[in-house]
Structure 1
Amino acid sequence: MKKLLFLLSVLAPFAPSRTLAQEASVEKSLWQVQTSFLDIWGSNERRLTSQLTLRGEAGFTGYFWYGSFYPKSGFAIVPVLTVEPRWYYNLEKRSRMGKPTDGNSANFLAFSTSFYPRWFLISNYRNVESVNQLELSALWGIRRSWKWVNFEVAPGVRYYYAFAKAVGYERNEGRFTLAARLRAGINLR
């Protein structure tokens, strides 16, 4: 009997834990709606592996401007399409510590590709034009979900490129900037 107990205690740490494997995985499919200051997106995250997802997103993003070029301040809202692979790198650690991982509650690294098409523009000014734009971002983020509510913070860097020649400007424009994402939303599952 003592030998059996000893054998079980030695082998127990190597036995597969079904509940740990289930808790330490991203959701199979997660539908959500998120918003920020002037922005709104609908998205779906699909599981590729236990820690990797592919997020597709469509929505609208807004801009403010002011200055001497226009007599009053203005705003514009344009459509945006995004594809973003995410690696949730600390799911297992959160699970081991007894912290929730449902709704993909974990820290992540992401590489985001966004396209701002020139389909239409909503603004308080007439004759404001938009140009097709491409944005590539590398982000480090934190995502937390509580029941059906989610919250994300993700700083990083991005490269932005505007195809301005297509609408009559002299040259296209590209530049590196800092990226900051702050979103709150609801999980639709």
Structure 2
Amino acid sequence: MKKIAVLFLIFSTITLLSQEEQTESVWRLNFLNPGVEYEMPTGNTSTLSIGTGIGYSGSYPHTSVGGSSGLITSFNPFLDIQHKWFYNFEKRKSKGLNITNNSGNFISARVLTRGESLFGNSNGTDGLDVAIGPTWGIQRKYGKNFHLLFDMGPIYYFDINERHGFFPLMLQLNLGFDL
């Protein structure tokens, strides 16, 4: 865990030293998982995104009710922090495609913290769980201010009751508006 935090800080520091900025600061309102997000430049092709709200999520293996194999749902308050490194800005610009509001493909380091389940059919956690891992994703701005973000990647999760595990594929889909 400490090694992951140190690597995250090293990558963040390196990108903060970049001179030319192509990335932009953006405020967003997401409506698929209701919340607010702020994305700020950390370098010419990197950003730090911080989002909070109440979102739908599936459960981790240890949170299902009575070993249920059906659809498990949970609505939780969340804090989502993601450091994104965009890798195709130049290619998009050369094809005449938009990079406004950080429209591009990225890899990231993501930390997602969820509070206790507000409602749903999941035991959830008794207070707090954390998921960390790398992701690959895309984000686009369409029209005047419509925003789409999709990303996926493996995660390691743990909670305050020392339950933990590896989940092979976490998916995220955000739809909303850039302000």
Q: TM-score range by the shorter chain?
A: 0.7 to 0.9
Aligned residue for 1:94, secondary structure, equals helix
Displacement of 1:82 in angstroms is 1.9
User: Contact (CA 8 Å) 1:74, 1:123: kept in 2 or not?
Assistant: no
CA gap of 1:124–1:112, structure 2 versus 1, over 3 A, is: closer
Q: Give, as a single letter, the amino acid of the residue that structure 1 aligns with 2:177.
A: I
TM-score (norm 2): 0.73
Q: CA-to-partner distance for each residue in 1:166-189, whole Å, 9 max, x for gaps?
A: xxxxxx21111111112211101x
Q: State how 1:60-139 maps to structure 2 within 5 Å.
A: 60-63=54-57, 75-118=73-116, 121-123=117-119, 130-139=126-135
Match of 1:31 among 17, 27, 34: 27
Displacement of 1:31 in angstroms is 0.3
Q: Give, as a single letter, the amino acid of the residue that structure 2 aligns with 1:184.
A: L
User: Contact (CA 8 Å) 2:136, 2:153: kept in 1 or not?
Assistant: yes
Q: State how 1:53-64 maps to structure 2 within 5 Å.
A: 53-63=47-57
Q: CA-to-partner distance for each residue in 1:7-27, whole Å, 9 max, x for gaps?
A: xxxxxxxxxxxxxxx9x8111
Between the aligned partners of 1:128 and 1:156, the Cα distance in structure 2 is: 21
Point out 4+ residue stretches in structure 1 off by more than 4 angstroms: 63-70
Q: Give, as a single letter, the amino acid of the residue that structure 2 aligns with 1:57.
A: G
TM-score (norm 1): 0.69
**Which consecutive unaligned segments of at least 5 residues does structure 2 have?**
1-19
**Which consecutive unaligned segments of at least 5 residues does structure 1 have?**
1-21, 165-171
Q: State how 1:169-188 maps to structure 2 within 5 Å.
A: 172-177=162-167, 178-188=169-179
Identity %: 23
User: Contact (CA 8 Å) 2:75, 2:120: kept in 1 or not?
Assistant: no
User: Contact (CA 8 Å) 1:137, 1:179: kept in 2 or not?
Assistant: no
Between the aligned partners of 2:115 and 2:93, the Cα distance in structure 1 is: 40
Confirm whether residue 143 of structure 1 aligns to residue 139 of structure 2.
Answer: yes
Please tell me the root mean square deviation across aligned C-alpha atoms, in Å.
Answer: 2.8
